[in-house]
Structure 1
Amino acid sequence: MKISVVTAVRNGAATLPRMLDSLRAQTHDELEHVIQDGGSTDGTLDVLRAQGLDGMALVSAPDGGIYQAINAGIRRATGDVIGVLHADDVLADASVLARVAQALADPGIDGVYGDLHYVARADASRVIRHWQAGPFDPRALARGWMPPHPTLYLRRAVFDRAGLYDTSYRISGDYDAMLRFLTTGQVRLAYIAHVMVRMQMGGASNRGFAQMIRKSREDYRAIRAHNVGGIGTLVAKNLSKLPQFWGQF
């Protein structure tokens, strides 16, 4: 089973080596790394050319934002299964992609997801939030549940059937896409009870009050677009994050 990992990056030279090391360590050897660079100016391309995986598929060109770049990477991917790994995230251990392949050996499953650790930017060994996703229950969508997007791996057929990311979103395109996959797309997901990704705190969605407000507006738009709830769903989605901090200090 060939797994394509798509990385959309712009000026990620500082964190790319750790991410590349986590991919190189994987025990699953049928791996394609598809990199969509948005015209980096900080040495990102030098890092990729020096440290990138054998056979990496690299394109560097200006883009219209993160979701446009991810879409371009997915279109170029040749794997049976596709996931997204950002330049400042890492696969949690060497077994992650092997677990993905093992779960998707079941032809009745369209995709998989697992658990996620948010770690401090200054100290990647320090866990700030532990996101234990749990098994999928369609009723949980109305309570703001979603699988951790960085842990999500889907068969190529899912994108052919349900579409790519909506580029009119600037922050919540992943939430919108997952709601679409799980509602009209009828994607059948399996849960891997294992931490799959270690993600640095301080992403685009929480860099300041204005970004948080924009994210909430986009989240609500996605909730209404896919008929999974209303304002209560948005409130529950945000409140559900609080228990993820408990026991991490």
Structure 2
Amino acid sequence: MKISVVTTTRCCASTIGDCLASFASQSHLDREQIVIDAASQDGTLEILQAHRDQLAVLVSESDRGIYDGLNKGIARASGEVIGFLHGDDVFAGPDTLASVAAAFSDPNVEAVYGDLVYVSREDSHRVIRHWRAGEYRRSRLRWGWAPPHPTLYARRSLYDRIGGFDLRYRIAGDYDLMLRLLMRLSGRVVYLPEVLVRMRVGGVSNQSLRHLLQKSWEDYRILRANAVGGVLALAWKNLSKLPQFVVSSRRTPSRRSR
């Protein structure tokens, strides 16, 4: 089973090499990495070009934001399954894609996801938050639940059905896409109770109070637009993240590749 992994980059010269190495280390061989760069000027493109032979697609041009870049990647994907690995992120280990592929061996499975850890920008082994997603139940969507987007893999046929990211959302477009995807499933969703991705902190949604407020407003609009819930669902969505900061002193095993 071929898995397409879409990577978007924008001025991430300090981390993109680790991201590429993480993908290259995967034991599942039927895969492709598609990189959409937002016309970076910090050396990111030069690093990508140096690894051009391992990339199925490399595009570097101005875009309308990260979700525009992800849509470009989806359009160019040739795999039966599509997932995402951003330029600051790495897989938790060399068998991540193998675990995903094994779950999709059941033709009734349409989506697969797992757990995620947020790590320090300076030390990707220092865990700051541990997002244990838990089992999927459609009823949980009405309480603001969603899986960690960087761990979500879905069949290409689902994107053909629901479309890509809605560019009206600047920060929470991934939440909107996940709601649309999970509410229109005709098959099974599989939860892998293991860390799939190590994600460096410092995303756009957490950069300032203004961004946090904008994300909350977008989340509320998305809940209403998808007829999932309202203020209570938004409140629970935010409060449910608090346990993620209670991190065990035992570090999650991983292969450092970034």
Q: Under a length normalisation based on structure 2, what TM-score does the superposition of the two structures give?
A: 0.94
Residue aligned with 1:33, SS = strand
Q: Distance in 2 between matches of 1:52 and 1:67?
A: 23
Q: Distance in 2 between matches of 1:90 and 1:184?
A: 29
- Once structures 1 and 2 are overlaid, which stretch shifts more, 154-163 or 177-186? 177-186
Name the counterpart of 2:152. Answer: 152
Residue deviations 1:174-216 (CA, integer Å, cap 9, x gap): 0000011111455631111110000011101010000000000
Q: 1:94 and 1:168, CA in 2 relative to 1: closer, same or farther beyond 3 A?
A: same
Name the counterpart of 2:182. Answer: 182
Residue aligned with 1:82, SS = strand
Q: Distance in 1 between matches of 2:200 and 2:140?
A: 26
Name the counterpart of 2:207. Answer: 207
Q: Distance in 2 between matches of 1:85 and 1:235?
A: 28
Name the counterpart of 1:140. Answer: 140
Residue pair 2:34, 2:55 contacting (<8 A) in 1 also: no
Q: Distance in 2 between matches of 1:169 and 1:189?
A: 25
Residue pair 1:20, 1:53 contacting (<8 A) in 2 also: no
The offset of 1:52, in angstroms, is 4.7
Residue aligned with 2:36, SS = strand
Residue aligned with 1:110, SS = strand
Q: Distance in 1 between matches of 2:137 and 2:150?
A: 19
Q: Which runs of 5+ in 2 are unaligned?
A: 250-258
Q: Under a length normalisation based on structure 1, what TM-score does the superposition of the two structures give?
A: 0.97
Q: Does residue 130 of structure 1 match 2:153? A: no
Name the counterpart of 1:20. Answer: 20
Q: Does residue 73 of structure 1 match 2:73? A: yes
Q: Distance in 2 between matches of 1:25 and 1:92?
A: 11
Residue pair 1:182, 1:188 contacting (<8 A) in 2 also: no
Q: Distance in 1 between matches of 2:24 and 2:140?
A: 35
Structure 1 runs (4+) greater than 4 angstroms displaced: none
Residue aligned with 1:86, SS = coil
* Letter paired with 1:57: V
Residue aligned with 2:192, SS = strand
Name the counterpart of 2:59. Answer: 59
Aligned residues: 249
Name the counterpart of 1:220. Answer: 220
Residue pair 2:110, 2:185 contacting (<8 A) in 1 also: no
Q: Distance in 1 between matches of 2:168 and 2:21?
A: 33
Structure 1 vs Structure 2: percent identity of aligned residues?
51
Name the counterpart of 1:93. Answer: 93
- Once structures 1 and 2 are overlaid, which stretch shifts more, 90-99 or 117-126? 117-126
Residue aligned with 1:27, SS = coil
* Letter paired with 1:164: G
Residue pair 2:16, 2:88 contacting (<8 A) in 1 also: yes
The offset of 1:6, in angstroms, is 0.3
Q: Does residue 106 of structure 1 match 2:106? A: yes
Q: Which runs of 5+ in 1 are unaligned?
A: none
Residue aligned with 1:17, SS = helix
- Once structures 1 and 2 are overlaid, which stretch shifts more, 182-191 or 26-35? 182-191
Residue aligned with 1:165, SS = coil
